Amino acid sequence: MKRDYYDVLGVSRDADQGEIKKAFRRVARECHPDVNPEDPACEAQFKEAAEAYEVLSDADTRSAYDRYGFDGLRGSQVPDFGQFGFNDLFNIFFGGGTFDSVLRDAGNGMWGAATGSAPPPRGEDIDLAVTLTLSESVFGVTKPIEVTSEVTCETCAGSGARPGTGRDTCPQCHGSGRMREVSSLGGFGQFIRTSTCNLCRGQGTIVNDPCETCRGTGRVRATRTVDVELLAGIADGQTQIVRGAGGAGAQGGRPGDLRVRVAVEPDEHFVRDGDDLIYRLDVTMIEAALGTVAYVPALDGDIEVTLRAGIQPGEVKVYRSRGVPALQGYGRGDLKVVVNVQVPRHLSTEQREVLEQFAALTGEANYEPDQSFLDKVRAVFRQ
């Protein structure tokens, strides 16, 4: 039993063209193969709606249907959408899935839908991870990285043909790489579908005598070592992309990319803050009180740091352009040396007595008020 076309689209008998079109699009959207892949019920529903839309969107067939029902359409040869695949049907009405371009040309009764010319498939992208020391990440390093992927077959240099033989023109598409299928829709004209040739996959040529090494594919799987130059200044969690260093493309396709994700090991001495490096310089309370010379093992050579007598905890010495090179742009960040004053945790009886004597000899004048410790620490980190 065929359902009434107005019921199928859920519109009233006096619906105008806009409402009919809208109703059909609603069914199409609900049944889109991307939403409901390979759902036979949906496919049947869509074909029913497409037929209803074809009849009701044409003034002549609609008035024949209104007056005589299905009998009125006998002479008009309603298209049999059953012969089309679900995706083809979407191409007929929506041209590759966009709901805004109905490709039917009422003027000449020709419908067209192109699946688009597919470029040769690109090689696969390869994701790898590498762990660097802080120093390597700051100054950059070249790391040999093992990559397993498809590579171009050396025997045939990627052609897929046995050495000494060539590729022949594809007998199916005669070298165009494209197929053109014309289906008759009876009185409704023709549906023309262009697609990539499935024999040569759009290349226009085929291999008759395949290379034995790669069995005609032009590629083999292999492990190779790629020297990846990791840029100075790269940070933990960043990914460096080496264009074209991924898998080889099939049939003349471009190679994929190599994507190297960087992890940076925590460093004993330094913390990275953007392009700045922060170093904690430990001095004893005696050294802080008397003054001292200390060494900072900066990544590009030691720095001699002179601490005046009476230096305070949290004081910061800034060494311009001794930090991390800017990954994009010029220059380097700063090295900030933060003074940390260590207080003895255990005292012998004798040490305690000496310190008590010292305390008796000192007063407020020895301890001038100072900038707040927290303000100094805050100043270390960029706002």
| Residues in touch with Zn ion (CB under 5 A) | 153, 155-156, 170, 172-173, 197, 199-200, 211, 213-214
Nearer to Zn ion by Cβ, of 199 and 285: the residue is 199
For the CA atoms of 149, 154, 159, 165, what is the dihedral angle to 10 degrees?
Answer: -150
Nearer to Zn ion by Cβ, of 166 and 291: the residue is 166
CA triplet 358, 362, 364: central angle to 5 degrees?
150
Nearer to Zn ion by Cβ, of 42 and 214: the residue is 214
Minimum separation from the CB atom of position 196 to Zn ion (A):
8
Nearer to Zn ion by Cβ, of 134 and 197: the residue is 197
User: Would strands 178-184 and 190-196 be described as parallel, antiparallel, or unpaired?
Assistant: antiparallel
* Alpha carbon distance 238, 262 (integer Å): 6
Nearer to Zn ion by Cβ, of 162 and 259: the residue is 162
Minimum separation from the CB atom of position 224 to Zn ion (A):
16
Minimum separation from the CB atom of position 165 to Zn ion (A):
11
| Of 213, 226, 268, 240, nearest in space to 328 by CA | 240
In 264-280, which positions are buried (b, 16+ CB within 10 angstroms) versus exposed (e)? beebeebbbbebbbbbe
Cβ-proximal residues to 283 (8 Å cutoff; 6+ apart), any chain: 292, 294, 307, 311, 339, 340, 341, 342
Minimum separation from the CB atom of position 204 to Zn ion (A):
6
Residue written as token pair 């696969």: 124
Minimum separation from the CB atom of position 126 to Zn ion (A):
21
Minimum separation from the CB atom of position 173 to Zn ion (A):
3
Nearer to Zn ion by Cβ, of 9 and 153: the residue is 153
User: Would strands 303-307 and 258-264 be described as parallel, antiparallel, or unpaired?
Assistant: unpaired
* Alpha carbon distance 247, 232 (integer Å): 26
